[in-house]
Structure 1
Amino acid sequence: MSSEPVIAVRGVSKSYRVYNHPLQRLLSRFTGSCIGRHKEFHALRDVSFDVHKGETVGILGRNGSGKSTLLQIICGIRQPTTGTVSVKGRVSALLELGSGFHPEYTGRENIFLQGSVVGLDRAEIIARFDDIAAFADIGEYIDQPVHTYSSGMFLRLAFAVGIAVEPDILILDEALAVGDAAFQAKCFRKIGMLKEGGVAILFVSHSTEQISRLCDSAILLDDGALICRGDTDKTIREYLPRLFEVADSRSRQPDPSDVASCYRYDLGAAEAFCHRPGYCPTEHRWGTHDARIVDFSITLTSEDAASQEPRLKQMRVELVIRFFREVLYPIYGITLKTKDGIALFGTNSTEIGQKNSVPVRSQSPGTEVRICFGLSLPLCAGAYLLSVGVVDASCEGLVPLDRRYDSILIEVAYPPALQGMVDMNPSFSYIAH
C-alpha cells in the first residue's frame, strides 16, 4: 500500500442555510442574509482521513449522518464550506442509481456520454464498448431508452461503465443494494480484481456483512462527525448501537435513587455468562439492560461419536435471561458467523414461534426465563462466533434490551478433510455402464 494517500480529506465541514419560508430565502439572496431568517444545518463537521492506493474503506452511518455529502465533496460535485480535499487519479463514482444518465438516451448512447464525462475519447469508448455491454448483460435493451429500464438494469449498466473506465479511485454509494444475486456476485468479484490492481475503493453500505467482507478498514459518521476510523470489526461494533439509538452499555451508570436500577446492577455482578467455556472476552455488549442475558450453555452433538470422522449434526443453545421491567413482547435472537464476519445463519423466537405455534410469553420485573434454540447445523472444521440478544417489540420499533455481539466462540475440529464452512456430507461412486 502506498504511503502517499490518493484521497486526503482535511478538516472538511459542510453547512447549509435552512429557511422556514421561500420568501426568506429570496430576501436573503437580495440582502446578503441581513433579512431572511435561517438556521445553519451542519451536514459534515471537521472530517479528516486518508485513503491509500489499493485500500478499500467502508463508510458506515445512519441515514442523514453525512455519508452521501462526503462522497459528493470528494467527487467534486459539492464544495466544502471549510477544509480541503485532495484527490489523485481518475475517479469513477456510482453515487445514485442512474445519476448522470440521460433518460431519453439509449443505453448505448449513455455509455458514450458517461465515457466522455470521465475523459475518454470516442476511440477509447469504442474499444471498451463490447466489454461494457457484456458485463452489463442487458441484451437488446442496450438500444432502448434508459427510462424504460428497471432498477436492476440501471445498476448493471452504471456499474459496467464505472469499472470500464479503469479508475484509480472507485466510489460506491449503496450501488449494490439492488440487482439479482448473480450480478451482485459478479460485481464483488470485479471489486476484488480492482482492489488487487491497486484501485482505491470507498464503499458505502448499511450491510455490515458486506463492509466486513470487502473492506480493509472502515469509517463511522454520526451527525456529520467522524466517530472512529480504523479496524472494520471495531467500527461495526460502534455503529450497531447507534443504528438503534441506544447508548453503549459501558457508558450506562445506575441511578442510586432508583431502587430497580440498583437491583439491576447488583444482579449483574452475579452473572455466570463470562465464566462459561467458549465465552469470548472481546464481545461487544450494548442495550438498555432492562433485561440481561446472564448465562448460556452450548451443546454440540455429532451424527456418530464413534465414527472416525464424526459430523456435527445438532447444536443446542440455552440462554438465561433476567428481566427488570415488564416486557409484553420479548424477542430472543441468535446469529452465527465466521470469524471474519460472514453471517451463516440467524433467526429469532418470533420467526420460529410463528412456524411452530409457540406463543409469546410476556415477562414481569424480577422474572428469569430459560430458553433454547435447537439447530441442525453441519459445520466444517473451523472457529465460529455466536451473537445472542433480546429485544422489546412491545412498543413502536424494536428496543434492544441486551445484545451480546460475538460473545461465544464455537470451535469445530472435524471433519478435517473437508473444505469450506458447511459439511454437505458428500459421497462418490462410479456408475457402471
Structure 2
Amino acid sequence: MAEDKLDDTIIHVEHVSKVYALYDRPIDRMKEALSIRKKSFHKDHIVLNDFNLDIRRGESVGIVGRNGAGKSTLLKMITGVVTPTAGTVETKGKIAALLELGAGFNMEYTGRENIFLNGRMMGYTRAEMKQRVDSIIEFADIGDFIDQPVKTYSSGMFARLAFAVSINVEPDILIVDEVLSVGDTRFQIKCIQKMKELKEKGTTILFVSHATEQIKQFCTRVIWMLDGHIELDGEASEVVDLYESYMKTGLSLKALLNLQDEHNTKLPDAGEGGRPKADMLASIEDIQINKVRFHTFDELEVAVTYRIYEEKIDGFFLGVAFYSANRLDYVFGPNTHLEKKEVPSTQGLHKVIYKVPRLPLIQGTYVVDVGIFNNEGLVNLDYRMSARTFVVSNKYFSEGTYYIDHEWDVEV
C-alpha cells in the first residue's frame, strides 16, 4: 500500500529550504564578493525552512497564505524556475504554469510565435503544437492581436493567451497563481470550466488565489502556508475557514492549539473560597468550554462556576454572551433572568452549564463573555470579558456567518 501511494505521488518536496541574501546597498554585494577575509555584508532571508510536501496524481490543491508566506517561491521551485538552497524537489510529467503574466514570453514575438515557443519549452515538437494551435487561438479569443507582438498586449490579453497555451497542451500538472483575477467574468468562467475538465481527466492542479470562495468550490485539499512552513494541510473548506479566521484575528493554528491547552485552566483572580474584596458579593471562579475548534451544528457547552459569599442574593442571575473576536459583532447574549431560569443564589460554590445543542455559526473566531448580576442587570456582580475563545469551520455547504433554516419554492 505504501509503495502504491509513493508511485502515485506526482510532486515530492523533501526538506526544502530557500534562503535569499539581502543587501542594504548594491555595492555591498561586490564588497562581499571581493572580500579576502570572506566578510559577510548581507542578511539571510529565509523564505522556506525544511519544507516537506507530497501531492498525489489527480489532486486539486489550493494554496493560501498572506503575502510573503512563500507560496510563489514554492511554485517556482516546483516548475524549476528557482532552485532550492537545500533539499530536493521531484516532479513527474509535463508542467504548465501561470505564475507571472508574460513569463516565458518573448515580447518581440507575436502571440502565434509565442504559442510555439512555449510549447517547445514544455517539450512539444512544432508538429505537435500545430495540432493544438487552433484550439489555443480560439480559447484565447484575442482576435487579430494573435499576429501582433505581445509587447502590444494588455494584461488581460497576456492572461488569455498564457492560460490558453497552458490548458490546451494537456499538462500532467497545472499551476495557476492568481492569474484568473486579471480576466473579465466571461473569461474566468471559461477558465474555471476548462480547469474542471482537466481535473476530471486526472490533471494535478495547484491553485493559488486570494479568492477563497473559488478555492473552496474547486479544490478538495488546501495547504495554508505561514512564514515558510505548512500551518495546516487538510479538507479545503475547513482549512480556508481557519485561514480566514487567522486573517481577521491573527490567531494562527499554533495559537488555537495553545487555547485548546489552556481553555480549561482556572481564571485568574478566582476567589479560592475567600472573599477577594470586602464589598464583593459574588465572583466567577471558572469558565470552561467543551472544546476550542467546532464544526457547524456541533454542541457547544459553557460551564460557569461561581461563588456566592452572602447568605443569599435576591434577583441573582447569570448571562453568557458571544462576540466576534474583534468584538465588533455582538452575536448572542442570553441570560437566566430574561429566560426565567432559576439558578442557585445562596452562599457557596455553584456550577451552571449553558448549552447550544446545534451551533448555527458557519465560520469565524468568537469570544465568550460571562457575567453575574442582580436587580434585573442594574448591578454587575462580576464580569469576565473574552474569557474563552473558540473557532468554527465546516465542510463547504453554505456561505455567510449563521445558518438559518430555510426552504426553496420554485413557481415557474
**Is the shorter-chain TM-score for this pair beyond 0.5, marking a shared fold?**
yes
Counterparts of 1:228 and 1:78 in 2: how far apart (Å)? 24
Over 3 Å counting, the alpha-carbon distance change for 1:71 and 1:81 in structure 2 is same
Structure-2 residue corresponding to 1:307: none
Where structure 1 has 5 or more consecutive residues not aligned to the other structure, the ranges are: 259-264, 272-277, 297-338, 342-365, 367-382, 389-407, 416-422, 427-433
1:192 Cα deviation from its structure 2 partner? 0.7
1:281 Cα deviation from its structure 2 partner? 2.9
Q: Specify which of 193, 214, 220 is matched with residue 218 of structure 2.
A: 214
Structure-2 residue corresponding to 1:147: 151
Over 3 Å counting, the alpha-carbon distance change for 1:282 and 1:108 in structure 2 is farther
Structure-2 residue corresponding to 1:410: 404
1:43 Cα deviation from its structure 2 partner? 0.5
Aligned residues: 304
Structure-1 residue corresponding to 2:122: 118
Contact persistence 2:221–2:236 (CA under 8 A): yes
Structure-2 residue corresponding to 1:132: 136
1:106 Cα deviation from its structure 2 partner? 1.0
Deviations 1:163-207, CA, capped at 9 Å, x for gaps: 122110001111211111111111111111101111101111111
Contact persistence 1:208–1:236 (CA under 8 A): yes
SS in structure 1 at match of 2:68: coil
Counterpart residue identity of residue 247, structure 2: L
Counterparts of 1:138 and 1:149 in 2: how far apart (Å)? 9
Structure-2 residue corresponding to 1:40: 44
1:28 Cα deviation from its structure 2 partner? 1.6
From the CA coordinates, give the structure whose radius of gyration is larger.
2
Q: Specify which of 293, 298, 316 is matched with residue 281 of structure 1.
A: 298
* 1:238 and 2:242 correspond: yes
Contact persistence 2:98–2:162 (CA under 8 A): yes
* 1:25 and 2:63 correspond: no
Alignment of 1:161-176 (within 5 A): 161-176=165-180
Deviations 1:60-105, CA, capped at 9 Å, x for gaps: 0001110000000011111111111110101111100121111121
1:29 Cα deviation from its structure 2 partner? 1.9
Contact persistence 1:280–1:409 (CA under 8 A): no
Structure-1 residue corresponding to 2:72: 68
Alignment of 1:299-314 (within 5 A): none
Structure-1 residue corresponding to 2:63: 59
Counterparts of 1:7 and 1:223 in 2: how far apart (Å)? 21
Q: How big is the alpha-carbon RMSD for the aligned residues of Structure 1 and Structure 2?
A: 3.4
Where structure 2 has 5 or more consecutive residues not aligned to the other structure, the ranges are: 271-282, 290-294, 301-321, 335-361, 364-382, 384-395
Deviations 1:288-325, CA, capped at 9 Å, x for gaps: 447642249xxxxxxxxxxxxxxxxxxxxxxxxxxxxx
Q: Specify which of 285, 293, 296 is matched with residue 331 of structure 2.
A: 293
TM-score by structure 2 length? 0.66
Structure-2 residue corresponding to 1:317: none
Contact persistence 2:249–2:325 (CA under 8 A): no
Counterpart residue identity of residue 403, structure 2: L
Q: Specify which of 182, 186, 192 is matched with residue 188 of structure 1.
A: 192
Structure-1 residue corresponding to 2:161: 157
Q: Percent identity?
A: 42
Contact persistence 1:169–1:199 (CA under 8 A): yes
Over 3 Å counting, the alpha-carbon distance change for 1:210 and 1:282 in structure 2 is farther
TM-score by structure 1 length? 0.63
1:241 Cα deviation from its structure 2 partner? 3.0
Contact persistence 2:136–2:168 (CA under 8 A): yes
Counterparts of 2:37 and 2:183 in 1: how far apart (Å)? 46
Counterparts of 1:62 and 1:116 in 2: how far apart (Å)? 34
